[in-house]
Structure 1
Amino acid sequence: MVRHIDLGGTAADRTRSLSSFIRKGEITLGGYKKAKIYGRLNCATGKRMKVEHRVFFRDEADAVSHGYRPCGHCMREKYKEWKTKQQGLEHS
C-alpha cells in the first residue's frame, strides 16, 4: 500500500517537510517515477530530475515493492544484481 506523505503547498513547506522526514529516517531513498528507478538521496543523477517526477521511499524494500529498480549510478552493485536477474528471466 502506498502511503501518501503531504509535504506541504509551497516549495519552502515541501523542503522543510522533506528535510524533517529525512532526519527522522522516514525517507532514505529517492526515486524517479517515470522510469521507476530508486537511489540514494545524494545521487548526482537523481538530483538532476524534475521535482514533479520525484518520489521517496522509506527503504529499499519499499522501493522494490512498488516496482522500482536500483540506480545504475549510485547503487552500481545492486543494479548489477538486478540486471543479472532480469537477464535470467528473459532467457527462461
Structure 2
Amino acid sequence: MEKHTDLSDPVLRSKIKNRKLYFGGNQKLKIYGLLTCSSGKRMKRENRVFFISEKEALENNYRPCGHCMKEKYKLWRNEQHGK
C-alpha cells in the first residue's frame, strides 16, 4: 500500500502507466476501487492510498467500492451480514 502524499505526481503517473498500481483506496473509510472511479477521484489526496492488487487491499481490511465494483461490493456486503 502506498500513500498518495508519499508520491510525487510524475512518480504516481509512471507507476500507473507501468501497471504497478491497479487500485485506489480511501484510507479513512477503508474502501478500495478502480483508478477510474468517479468517487475515488473526488477524495482528498491525504486520504488516498494505492494498491498493486485487490488481494493487497483486502489484506489491509479495505472493502470494495459500491460504485465501481458493484458485484464485488454485493458479495462483500452479503458476507458481512451472513447472507
TM-score, normalized by the shorter chain, greater than 0.5: yes
Give 1:19-58 correspondences, 5 Å limit: 19-58=13-52
Q: Structure 2: which 5+ residue stretches go unaligned? A: none
Q: Which has the larger radius of gyration?
A: 1
Structure 1 residues 54-73: Cα deviation after superposition (integer angstroms, max 9, x where no partner): 00000100100000000000
Q: Structure 1: which 5+ residue stretches go unaligned? A: 8-13
- Over the residues paired in the alignment, what is the CA RMSD in angstroms? 1.9
With 29-38 and 15-24 compared, the bigger mean Cα shift is at 15-24
From 53, 70, 79, the counterpart of 1:76:
70
SS of 1:61's equivalent?
helix
Q: 1:17 to 1:3 in 2, by over 3 A?
A: closer
Tell me what 2:57 maps to.
Answer: 63
Q: Between the two proteins, what is the percent identity of the paired residues?
A: 50
Larger RCO, structure (CA 8 Å, separation 6 or more): 2
Number of aligned residue pairs: 82
Deviation of 1:41 (Å): 0.4
SS of 2:33's equivalent?
strand
Q: 1:43 to 1:3 in 2, by over 3 A?
A: closer
